[in-house]
Structure 1
Amino acid sequence: MSKKNDIRLLRINYLRGPNMWTYRPVLEVWLDLGELEDCPSNLLPGFNDRLTTALPALIEHHCGVGERGGFIERLRDGTWMGHVLEHIVIELLNLAGMPTGFGQTRSTSQRGVYRMVFRARDEQVARAALAEGHALLMAIINAEAFDVPAAVARVRDKLDDCYLGPSTAAIVAAATDRRIPHIRLNDGNLVQLGHGQRQRRIWTAETDMTSAIAEGIAGDKDLTKTLLKAVGVPVPAGQEVKTAAEAWEAAQDIGLPVVVKPSDGNHGRGVTLDISTQADCEAAFKLADAHGSSVLVESYIRGNEHRLLVVGGQVVAASRGEAAWVHGDGRQTVTQLVDSQINVDPRRGLTEDFPLNRIRVAEDGVILLDLQRQGLTPESVPAAGTAVLIQRNGNVAIDCTPEVHPEVAHAVSLAARTVGLDIAGVDLVTEDISRPLAETGGAIVEVNAGPGLLMHLKPASGAPQPVGQAIIDHLFAEDESGRIPIVGVAGSRGGHQITRLVAWLLHLNGRHVGLACKDGLFLGTRRVEKRDSACWDAAHRLLMNRGVNAVVVENDAASILRDGLAYDRATVGVVTDLDGIAALAEFDVQDADQLYKVLRTQVDVVLSDGASVLNAAHPRLVDMAELSDGEVVFYAEDGTLEAIRHHRDRGGRAVFLRGGAAVLAQGPAETPGANIEALLRRFGSNATDAATLLAAVAAAWALGISPELIAAGLDTFVPDLHLA
């Protein structure tokens, strides 16, 4: 078989919001199969076997068949390479740890050219998966070698670089479960939950309610202990020291054994436990001094270390650590014993995907010091049966939430409140967390801001705790969604006029409105940018603006095809027409059926308690009503249209023209409204039409603005931006 030429990737476009394919972001790829258009999968000798050998989990892809093995069936029957590429990319993402179930491939009007899309939570990860999938597909077509595990590793590396950390991802997932929207604000873990004035922000497990003063207190362990002791929370006795000599003197004053640790360290770095000799104390001081700005000497509390997570004053999760030991065999070194007896545990690894850390003996100063105290080095070979202590408190990753005694929970909650943190990781040492601290001699040793959540999400043993949900419930009341009213207007006629009118009426209704339309970007009645702002970027900026509590956006078909919608859901969605096809040639939109699929996106995202506002003079837009999750409000100049009469017979709402004025009708009831003819005169000849103004009236009414305010608002609206 002669070598086939590469499939050409003509265009790669990231659709960042709801689009004609799905509610979620996707990577859209235009590809040219070239000569492979004549070579479906069943006509390439050995192709199917090579593909399923390289990616055996393709058997799990249901594809359009709807059952396990569906894609394999399509391969045997013969499917084109664009469709195959879609499934290869999805499988690579699955293997890399970003499960992806959605993909579609459709032909275009040009022979051999296809549009292929797949779910893309992150653009860079999706592009990496596409590149690897493309290379893998061509290698399989041409019976060439390809290292699949290496490709998966490269995609996973990109995922690790670009995607949210596990703590942030858990919080965002909990927000999604409650249908609270989110916006990622940087390449790290700063995330906005909600929109406009109703937004909250998180940065891993810190929130915009986390006090900077409290965070500063938590970073000063000596000050933290002073405050906790003042309110009756048990803490170990201790003092800050400047030199190794002072450390030993303090240890003797406090009473041996002691703990030596940095005053502002974290993650247990530089902490040495159970010190009873001067040599060990001086060595521990040197280690602690390298990890912090000063050093603390504290009394040693016997027991296991525990981490309790406090959210909004309540303990929501608890984990316990345990000492890590190895047992000599007379043959292996300490390092080899750690690898064969501890690191072999599949729960241990070097990334946040693992609940337990892989132990690197030679790189951990605390472990080296503890070995030294046992007369050992990493290269020592312990005698058979000899127990060697590696970590006095290993990873705190054993869930013990059900065991926490109420008095312990009270003390921990009080500690978090005393420091002033809304979310805190409180470290305590006790021999038995199911008993009060007074009975066990336990004490709280640290209060941490921005605690990691992984130990509670993926414990080494025990049940995961819903800590992401607890944080979301802390940030948002049960009846809050973080949403503000959003109005989206789609179509090619009068969108800028409709959006400006609706924004004006919302302003009169007491809202702080952000508006993005062809006339510019507006905050309230002030135009802050004059350039065309009917685009994703401008609308996205409004959703991030803490000063707005309502947003109005103009969307034409081209912007939806290019970027998708800037919002995941809308309160009101307006669709005005199915015109403007001639301007969409670059997107291969050539008829009304194709344009219908694009503009229905605006209706697809309407909330169940929102409304779709549709032009009843267009039969296809009347058909669009059945797609709306919310109410439907029809509008048209002619109130006798069958669609309007039928809608009213069922108690629906409609807006139409009679005697030059808008009529707002619900069922048989009619309310006279705004003077449309007068407003048309103010706009000037040929500047707009009655249907456009009626669309604005219908959208405002759907938002709950009263007919009286709508009429008064249109009477005061100034169409000329130079006079506004």
Structure 2
Amino acid sequence: MIIKDIRVYRGRNIYSHKPVIKMVVDIEGFDIPTKDITGFNDRLIELLPGLSKHGCSYGYEGGFLKRLEEGTYLPHVTEHIILELQHMLGYDVKFGKARNIEGNFYYIISEYSLEECGVRVCKLAVEMVNKLIKREEFDLEGKLDKIRNIIAEIELGPSTMAIKNEAIKAGIPVTRVGNGSILRLGYGKYQKMIEGTISQNTSCIAVDIASDKILTKQILKDHGFPVPEGDVAYNEEEAIAIAEEIGYPVAIKPYDGNQGKGVHLNITIKEEVTIAYRNARNYSDLVIVEKNIKGRHYRVLVVGEKVVAVAERFPAHVIGDGIHTIQELVEIENKNPLRGKGHEKPLTKITIDAISKMTLKRQGFELEDIPKKGQKVFLRESANLSTGGIAIDRTEDIHPYNIEIAIRAAKAIGLDIAGIDITMEDIRKPLTKENGAIIEINASPGIRMHHYPSKGKPRNVAAAIIDMLFPKGSKATIPIISITGTNGKTTVTRMTAHILKTYGYTVGMTCTDGIYIDDVCVYKGDNTGPKSAKTCLADKNIDAAVLETARGGIIREGLGYDLADVGVITNISEDHLGIDGIETLEDLVFVKALVIEAVKKDGYCVLNADDPMTTYLAQRAKGKIIYFSMYDNNLTVKKHIEKGGIAVYVKDGVIVIANGQIVPVVKIEEIPAALSGKVLYNVENALAAIAACYGIKVPVNIIAKGIKTFYCDTTHNPGRFNLFNVGNFRVLVDYGHNIAGIKSVIEAAQKMDANRLIGVIGVPGDRTNSSILKVGEICGREFDFIYIKEDLDLRGRKPGEVAKILEQGAIKGGMDRQKIKTILKETEALRAAMYNAEPGDLIIVFYEKYQPIIEVIEEFIKNKDLKNIEIKLERA
């Protein structure tokens, strides 16, 4: 089996509303059930016993084993291997499927949690299947260990993961920024950034202070808090001198260390000072020597102005059983499934190093010793979880005075989230200089000790952090309107954005010609895919987003947002068939329906009641439906209104909204983009835009004002029914590129009292021959003269190939061959049409590249002596 392609879908997609990986494989002729491949099934279950729990299509545990016994095929088996391998790596993923494309080619879909893990597991599964086919040895555990090491480096730690999960629970969209611990919570102007437990509200100065242990201690001392006496040592001699001056026992730690690395406590002799100093110097150029404070080690977690959790921390240790050595006890404890590398799990594996050996020696132990049963042996004196320690919840024990001290200490440093480390005999008593001290303050405190205490009640610190960042009643995201369809989606997008801007919103918009932030184009080109949506939503200036969402991006990558407030489908007609596996109109509807599936529960799906595909789409809609129609007697609309639904439709020349009562919005003759009702499809586009804006509660009078001030010109709607007066004839520029779009433009143009209709026509090369022929036929029937041109991007066609089919179609439509001229270059074809135009003509150009067309028109208008323009006609 060979992998031909791997594609990652990071957002909601046509296969699942969860992230998935799509792998295309070639089974190389192994189109036989795995039960007929010698030893395959037995070896498979031996390597992956967890497969016995897979229900498969039977829906009960053991169902997949039954499928193996009955006979199933390699792609299906691979799908289950991928899911099981991810289970073994700690991920709860369930969705998968395998389907034949054609011949030996299959696609395998599998849900994933961590992309870097999912992709590697897909490759590993195929490698495993090939080894089983060949009956070769396969070191599965060794290969999984390599993936585990990668996961440990890339996966979010428990603290960040807890915050992510709480945000999702609260309905806040979460985007991971890079491969570190930075999360973007929410969209647009309401988004908040957080890195670990450092929020965007935390000042750099506060973090710098907390990172400087001496400075922190000085500020706390100035505020009257008890802190350990001590100083900075610049060499071993100074370390010894400070220790002897303040008196033993002392603690030695790196000046700017973290996670308890290089920390030595309870040092009582000069020789230990030297060892501890040298070790601390491995983590920092400067070393702190301070009075060792006796007592228990507590972490008090402050969020905002509240203490939300308290934990007592215990250093890494093992408990003797009278049988095993200390080394063996550590190895046994490290097999605890709760322990992992670094911060990957609730607890960290215990490490044996110079510090642990010194700690053992001070207790009279060596690694080879066998402690008595029940005897506690410490391998660290510092109580950090990152060095193998454990935590017990003490939240309900803390004295009210100590709560006040912790909150004041966090404020003194300037932190909104802080871990206050206090050492004292009993947290239930008030902290004084005589019974303890604040040891340090952490600007990015880990919260796993509170979420996963070894004993006591778990405390949901992540929820407290989310509540602080997004207080009850505040917003985390902006209104999002996602628009798709075959025709009209760009105009509806622009029209909707214009209405929202009229309402006062700073609008982010993605469409076929760019990403716009408050009418400023920040990225040019086709920006209708998921990456563009993400870019738009990440902008902190916008308070509403209107996203044109095209078929191609949905198929290739899924959606670039989580859920929209309004999903719009303008219409569905034949376009892009034969591309990306979309062979039928039903396939196209299935893809575009994702936009109305990914809508909030209280959101709206805007559907065209005049479109024959709407019955199917309505079944897929997840939000409430707003129908729009050109007719007040549309049966779907009438039934919907009777049931209390909302509809937008045309009644007696006026667009109205029905929502319990009939509310007039705008007269058709008042819509500039409709040219007094001549451009009917722009009336339809206006209906969709009005419905979308009504779905996010824009006032009707604002909607009306927006519609009345939106024009089909180069400012509001470039490339869509742009009309230019060129002397005694006119030029109409439009992006019509499919049968329905071209037909609608021609129908509108026929109402404009032209002497002749001249077409400058072309069709993208990736359309089917039948579609190209049909376009030619329509144009041959409706135009008086045709100039056939081709796109610069031939999309796999040979030069002149599309033009030839269009010519055949035009002749089929009744056009005289003498009235057809083929000029392959788009701009030259338009020049020829304008040069040969007669008074009263209307030239319609269906362009590929907008700006060059505009430049040709402007050049022609400026040039007074048209006869001197040299025209080179190029016939295919």
* Length-normalised TM-score, structure 1: 0.91
Q: Distance in 1 between matches of 2:28 and 2:559?
A: 33
Is 1:702 matched up with 2:703?
A: no
Q: Distance in 1 between matches of 2:538 and 2:16?
A: 23
Shift of 1:186: 0.9
Identify if the C-alpha distance between structure 1 residues 585 and 10 changes in structure 2 by more than 3 Å, giving closer, same or farther. farther
Q: Distance in 2 between matches of 1:487 and 1:416?
A: 41
User: What is the aligned-residue identity percentage?
Assistant: 33
Match of 1:182 among 163, 174, 177: 174
Q: Which residue of 2 is the match for residue 162 of structure 1? A: 154
Q: Distance in 2 between matches of 1:607 and 1:653?
A: 17
Identify if the C-alpha distance between structure 1 residues 620 and 240 changes in structure 2 by more than 3 Å, giving closer, same or farther. same
Aligned to 1:714, the other structure's residue is in SS state helix
Q: Distance in 2 between matches of 1:635 and 1:482?
A: 30
Shift of 1:325: 6.3
Is 1:467 matched up with 2:461?
A: yes
Q: Is the 8 A contact 1:326 1:341 kept in 2?
A: no
Q: Which residue of 1 is the match for residue 90 of structure 2? A: 97
Identify if the C-alpha distance between structure 1 residues 220 and 693 changes in structure 2 by more than 3 Å, giving closer, same or farther. same
Query: Which 10-residue stretch deviates more, 676-685 or 121-130?
Result: 676-685
Query: Which 10-residue stretch deviates more, 46-55 or 169-178?
Result: 46-55
Q: Which residue of 2 is the match for residue 400 of structure 1? A: 393
- Higher RCO (C-alpha 8 Å, min separation 6): 1
Q: Distance in 1 between matches of 2:371 and 2:118?
A: 53
Q: Which amino acid aligns with 1:720?
A: D
Q: Distance in 2 between matches of 1:98 and 1:683?
A: 59
Identify if the C-alpha distance between structure 1 residues 270 and 81 changes in structure 2 by more than 3 Å, giving closer, same or farther. closer
Aligned to 1:438, the other structure's residue is in SS state coil
Identify if the C-alpha distance between structure 1 residues 372 and 243 changes in structure 2 by more than 3 Å, giving closer, same or farther. farther
Q: Is the 8 A contact 1:319 1:397 kept in 2?
A: no
Q: Which residue of 1 is the match for residue 445 of structure 2? A: 451
Is 1:22 matched up with 2:13?
A: no
Which structure 2 residues correspond to residues 215-364 of structure 1 after superposition, within 5 A? 215-323=207-315, 336=327, 339=330, 348-361=339-352, 363-364=353-354
Q: Is the 8 A contact 1:355 1:397 kept in 2?
A: no
Shift of 1:485: 0.6
Match of 1:589 among 573, 582, 597: 582
Match of 2:52 among 59, 62, 66: 59
Identify if the C-alpha distance between structure 1 residues 254 and 527 changes in structure 2 by more than 3 Å, giving closer, same or farther. same
Query: Which 10-residue stretch deviates more, 242-251 or 612-621?
Result: 242-251
Query: How far does the alpha carbon of each residue in 1:65-87 deviate from its partner, in whole angstroms, 9 at most, with x for none?
Result: 22212222222333332221111
Query: How far does the alpha carbon of each residue in 1:236-284 deviate from its partner, in whole angstroms, 9 at most, with x for none?
Result: 2223343444444433443432223233222222322223333333443
Shift of 1:613: 0.3
Q: Distance in 1 between matches of 2:232 and 2:350?
A: 30
Q: Distance in 2 between matches of 1:330 and 1:159?
A: 37
Q: Which residue of 2 is the match for residue 547 of structure 1? A: 541
Aligned length: 711
Shift of 1:96: 1.3
Match of 1:202 among 191, 194, 214: 194
Q: Distance in 2 between matches of 1:27 and 1:702?
A: 34
Q: Distance in 2 between matches of 1:518 and 1:246?
A: 68
Q: Is the 8 A contact 1:664 1:673 kept in 2?
A: no
Q: Is the 8 A contact 2:157 2:345 kept in 1?
A: no
Which structure 2 residues correspond to residues 357-436 of structure 1 after superposition, within 5 A? 357-361=348-352, 363-364=353-354, 366-370=355-359, 390-394=379-383, 395=385, 396-401=389-394, 402-436=396-430
Q: Which residue of 2 is the match for residue 173 of structure 1? A: 165
Shift of 1:211: 1.3
Shift of 1:524: 1.1
Q: Distance in 1 between matches of 2:621 and 2:562?
A: 15
Identify if the C-alpha distance between structure 1 residues 342 and 606 changes in structure 2 by more than 3 Å, giving closer, same or farther. closer
Q: Distance in 1 between matches of 2:503 and 2:21?
A: 40
Q: Is the 8 A contact 2:674 2:682 kept in 1?
A: no
Q: Is the 8 A contact 1:257 1:299 kept in 2?
A: yes
Aligned to 1:72, the other structure's residue is in SS state helix
Q: Which residue of 2 is the match for residue 3 of structure 1? A: none
Q: Is the 8 A contact 2:654 2:664 kept in 1?
A: no
Q: Mark the structure with the bigger radius of gyration.
A: 2
Q: Which amino acid aligns with 1:587?
A: D
Query: How far does the alpha carbon of each residue in 1:40-80 deviate from its partner, in whole angstroms, 9 at most, with x for none?
Result: 34444543333222211112222222221222222233333
Q: Is the 8 A contact 2:710 2:716 kept in 1?
A: no
Q: Which residue of 2 is the match for residue 646 of structure 1? A: 639
Identify if the C-alpha distance between structure 1 residues 251 and 52 changes in structure 2 by more than 3 Å, giving closer, same or farther. closer
Query: Which 10-residue stretch deviates more, 320-329 or 478-487?
Result: 320-329
Q: Which amino acid aligns with 2:80?
A: H
- Taking only aligned residues, the RMSD between alpha carbons, in angstroms, comes to 3.0
Identify if the C-alpha distance between structure 1 residues 124 and 676 changes in structure 2 by more than 3 Å, giving closer, same or farther. farther
Shift of 1:384: 8.7
Aligned to 1:403, the other structure's residue is in SS state coil
Q: Which residue of 1 is the match for residue 785 of structure 2? A: none
Query: How far does the alpha carbon of each residue in 1:641-694 deviate from its partner, in whole angstroms, 9 at most, with x for none?
Result: 100010111121111223443222224524242536742455997795432221
Aligned to 1:492, the other structure's residue is in SS state coil
Query: How far does the alpha carbon of each residue in 1:204-231 deviate from its partner, in whole angstroms, 9 at most, with x for none?
Result: 1111011111111111212212222233
Q: Distance in 2 between matches of 1:698 and 1:480?
A: 26
Match of 1:690 among 683, 687, 709: 683
Q: Which amino acid aligns with 1:257?
A: P
Q: Is the 8 A contact 1:512 1:547 kept in 2?
A: yes
Q: Which residue of 2 is the match for residue 494 of structure 1? A: 488
Query: How far does the alpha carbon of each residue in 1:617-655 deviate from its partner, in whole angstroms, 9 at most, with x for none?
Result: 124313422433322110111121100010111121111
Q: Distance in 1 between matches of 2:320 and 2:104?
A: 66
Q: Distance in 1 between matches of 2:591 and 2:440?
A: 55
Aligned to 2:194, the other structure's residue is in SS state strand
Match of 2:554 among 545, 554, 560: 560
Q: Which residue of 2 is the match for residue 630 of structure 1? A: 623
Q: Is the 8 A contact 1:430 1:440 kept in 2?
A: no
Q: Distance in 2 between matches of 1:57 and 1:723?
A: 59
Is 1:88 matched up with 2:81?
A: yes
Q: Which residue of 2 is the match for residue 719 of structure 1? A: 712
Identify if the C-alpha distance between structure 1 residues 676 and 150 changes in structure 2 by more than 3 Å, giving closer, same or farther. farther
Query: How far does the alpha carbon of each residue in 1:466-522 deviate from its partner, in whole angstroms, 9 at most, with x for none?
Result: 222221112112234511111101111111100000001111111111110113221
Q: Distance in 2 between matches of 1:520 and 1:67?
A: 50
Q: Is the 8 A contact 1:178 1:481 kept in 2?
A: no
Q: Is the 8 A contact 2:669 2:677 kept in 1?
A: no
Q: Distance in 1 between matches of 2:331 and 2:701?
A: 79
Q: Which amino acid aligns with 2:380?
A: Q
Identify if the C-alpha distance between structure 1 residues 116 and 452 changes in structure 2 by more than 3 Å, giving closer, same or farther. same
Q: Where does the alignment leave 5 or more consecutive residues of structure 2 unmatched?
A: 718-876
Identify if the C-alpha distance between structure 1 residues 63 and 302 changes in structure 2 by more than 3 Å, giving closer, same or farther. same
Identify if the C-alpha distance between structure 1 residues 220 and 501 changes in structure 2 by more than 3 Å, giving closer, same or farther. same
Shift of 1:440: 7.3
Shift of 1:28: 1.4
Q: Which amino acid aligns with 1:264?
A: D
Query: How far does the alpha carbon of each residue in 1:572-606 deviate from its partner, in whole angstroms, 9 at most, with x for none?
Result: 1001222244x142322222332222122111111
Shift of 1:543: 1.0
Q: Is the 8 A contact 2:320 2:372 kept in 1?
A: yes
Identify if the C-alpha distance between structure 1 residues 313 and 58 changes in structure 2 by more than 3 Å, giving closer, same or farther. same
Q: Which amino acid aligns with 2:648?
A: V
Q: Which amino acid aligns with 2:16?
A: T
